[in-house]
Amino acid sequence: MKLTVLGSGVLVPQAGHAPSCYFLEAGGKRLLFDAGSGSLQQLVRAGLDYRKIDAFFFSHLHPDHVHELPMFFVAAGLDKANKAKRFTVFGPKGIKRFFAKCLDLYPFMKRLPVKTRFRELADTSLRLGGVKVRSAIVQHTVGALAYRVEAGKKSFVFSGDSEDCLALRKLCWKADLAMLECSSPRKPFSGHLTALDCGALASACGVKHLVLSHLYPASVKANVKGLAGKRFKGKIRVARDFSVIPF
């Protein structure tokens, strides 16, 4: 597997930390997790082709995670070089309604020749070729999801936004790489993880490689790697936009 971080930040603008977006190559599939504002341009800057994305996975409907979805749709519709013009979108309950509202707001989008298939998930398992994806409802907004991807002998977990909870721990169990949101260094932040939480969770679940992302300014400024390391003795990395992590 190979992970490319395209957006390691949040709603608050920060250099080097765009809103949530992650590109995963696994088992011959190309999967995009979340698409906050600017994600399409981030893909271009990273030298990745949005037309080759096999599926989109959204964690929840906050704007720093889903804002760019209509932009991908419009780009596909207007791009004459795009032969596929087809999107497969997985996400929480409400993702279909969100997109329908976008079409109502921008009626010209209804005329674009793009086929879009949506599937709303909860505690769900699915397959894309040889890739297995599990989703679980976690503790953030109603219906917010975290994901685990398995291909061959490798596994990847994307926490989305969540507090420490049993559902997230089950997904993280023995993961090769767990990318956990790290919204705060120490201070508890409702619906989110701190660096200390991330370290404790990774340690309890036997994670091999912990990546800290979804960084607010306080987390960018703090030594979150050191804080997580107080609870977890495995490999730790702090995400930054355009980090490429093979595993």
Bridge partners, residue 213, by sequence: 181
pLDDT at 145: 99
pLDDT at 81 over 90: no
pTM (predicted TM-score) = 0.97
Around 178, how many Cα atoms within 13 Å sit in the side-chain half-sphere?
28
39: domain CATH number? Answer: 3.60.15.10
pLDDT at 86: 86
Which one-letter amino acid corresponds to residue 239? A
Structure confidence by residue, pLDDT tens digits, 189-213: 899 999 999 999 999 999 999 999 9
Classify residue 108 as exposed, middle or buried by CB count within 10 Å of its CB (0-12, 13-18, 19+): exposed
The CA distance from 53 to 67, in Å, is 17
Structure confidence by residue, pLDDT tens digits, 93-130: 999 999 999 999 999 999 999 999 999 999 999 999 99
Overall average pLDDT of the 52-71 stretch: 98
Domain count, the chain: 1
Sign of CA dihedral 176, 164, 180, 139: positive
Q: Domain limits at 152? A: 2-246
